Chain A
Amino acid sequence: MAVTIRHYHRRRLPTGLIAKHAVINLGVVIILLPLIWVLLMSVKSLPESYSTNFWPRQFDFSHYGFVLTRIQTLPQNMFNSIFVTLATVAITTFCAILGGYALVHVKLPGRMLLIWLLIASLFFPTRLLSLISIYEIQRQLGLLNTVVGLIFPYVTLNLAVSILIMRGIFEQLPHELVEASRIDGCGPWRTLFLVLLPLLLNGIVVVSMVNFVGVWGEYLLAVTLTNDQATRTLPVVLASAHSGMGQWAYPRIAAVYVIAVTPGIIIFALFQRLYFKGLTEGAIKL
């Protein structure tokens, strides 16, 4: 079979083959070029950063040290981002596991209605509309301008999607497994935590990634609900640091940027196999 396909290509599509790889590689270059640019910017010397050279003449790695030690609030901002992200990912994943389980493997009156509500919420501009009153709620709860306060609205950002993804994962698990576990005397809670949890790894990876990406860079709520430099998260700091002068000279912001973007790419690289598997099992079906 493989032989016939290869033969087919060689006979009729040599230009097509080249064109195909050319188009794909153009896509690859377009995706990578901006990221390489910012990486190179972060190692340019200060005077050179105002030139239009793509490749720096001289590498200057001091900016990373500078931003971490000399910009006073930056370690705090980084801590804020890490804290909010970890807390939100943990809470949302927990809620999504319980929710997905409830929607698939236990008896639940009105289950289809709930599923339709979750799907419908994906089409509605919830985040935008709720913003006005979230501000009021946060003030009444004393959560305005606090880092902890951000966690509550953040959990809801991707909760519906997360539950639907987990539902897709749970649907892959055989009902017989749940039945067997029940016959062996496990209640629904013990079935979930003792029998099913180890089988959910793909789903947990996907849900964590979705929430990580959503929260690590969240801007609108963070810029609205926090005020002080000390309670800001990294994206807000980066978006407001546009002067290009002094401590925010371009190579320095670029260094902060690289620091902000790298964790996501590393996590993705580590988990990509599980991620793709989980994506095809759960996310695509919704």
Chain B
Amino acid sequence: MATVASRVASAARTWRSTYRLSDYANFLFLVPATVFFVGWQIYPIIRVFVLSFTDYKYLERNPPNFVGLQNYINALNDPLFHVGMLRAFAFTVAFVPLTILIPLVLAVLIDRVTTPWLSSFYRIVLLIPAVIPGPLVFVLWKWLFDFQIGPVNTILVEWLGLFTRQTAPQWLGGTPLSLPAVVIMEVWWGLGYHTMFFLAGLAAIPKDLSEQARIDGANEWQLFWRVTVPRLLPILSILVVLRFGTAMSVIDEYLIFGGFQRTSPTYTWTVYMYDLAFRIGDWLQGYAAAIGWLGAAVMMVFVVGMLYVFRSRD
């Protein structure tokens, strides 16, 4: 075993240390991916960055003028941008803990199911939402939350008797409940995928470890906090950062749920950016670009901060 490992290591070492000119020919493998990356990701992002310093309006014929930092200054004084950022944060703060904790509990429970067919049944059911594309999930939940035919209200009114047909909650259309509605939907969507994520992490925890802890007199609660959670911490922290990123830059579900109503809690900075770039006036893409970069910069500050806090210390 050791000899194999050392042989692989030495092979890897000689492999890395000497590059010849012909090795650069191996970049050919990356050409197809690079074409797409450069054309539809790297160049557009740089281009958007350049635009953010101009007064570029898409539908205007005059060439754009360089305006320096004016767009950024305007954005920082723009109440819609402030509100938009706050709304995105509100969603993130509600969504991220739920979408991590609920699947974590579910995964810990399913991990203990010892009947093979039952355990694989649960796993298959859990992954069903993960194979339904996001926007199709959003469309489905828009119907589920519908005031009249939606089963969410049917359950609240007819099954649980919490409301009458008249006082039933209005989930959609920019009411304050639109935000919890999106949160519920997003948690549902991520339920299976995140549970699978944790199950894979749990499978890597040696079974003797929890057995030993039980023998030593640990109860299930202690076992969870002292053994399971520390072992899952790497997966947990990476998931927090990734979900923070997706939650802050959510847009499809806001467009499908709330549209472009400025008073809606779903009108976040992303929707505002889209509104500016493709709908308002002459399509104020220069300003929209500044909003986009500013929002992304705020996100990155948090992401880098979290990665720093969560860095592995061993």
Q: Which residues of A contact B (CB under 8 A)?
A: 2, 5, 8, 16, 20-21, 23-24, 27-28, 30-35, 37-38, 41, 49-50, 52, 54, 91, 94-96, 98-99, 101-102, 106-109, 114, 121-137, 152-153, 155-156, 159-160, 163, 174-176, 179, 188, 209, 213-220, 223-224, 235, 238-239, 242, 244, 250, 253-254, 257, 260-261, 264-265, 267-269, 272, 276, 279-280, 284, 286
Contacts and interface: CB of A to CB of B under 8 A. Distances in A.
A28 to B, nearest CB: 5
Contacts, number: 256
Contact of A134 (B40, B139, B203): B40
The majority secondary structure among interface residues of chain A is helix
A213 to B, nearest CB: 5
Given A52-B158, A108-B27, A284 B201 contact: yes
Interface stretch (B8-16, B79-87, B174-182): B8-16
A38 B11 contact: no
B101 interface: no
A266 to B, nearest CB: 10
Given A108-B27, A124-B300, A213-B132, 15 more contacts: A23-B109, A27-B106, A31-B191, A50-B148, A102-B29, A108-B29, A126-B45, A127-B249, A128-B251, A132-B277, A133-B44, A134-B40, A152-B39, A239-B135, A239-B139
A85 B263 CA distance: 36
The majority secondary structure among interface residues of chain B is helix
B36 A132 contact: no
Contacts of A27: 106, 126, 191, 195
Interface in B72-111: 105-106, 109-110
Contacts of B303: 123
A267 B132 CA distance: 11
Contacts of A264: 131-133
A176 B131 CA distance: 36
B224 interface: no
B41 A130 contact: yes
Contact of A106 (B26, B188, B201): B26
B273 to A, nearest CB: 7
Interface in B124-153: 124-144, 148-149, 151
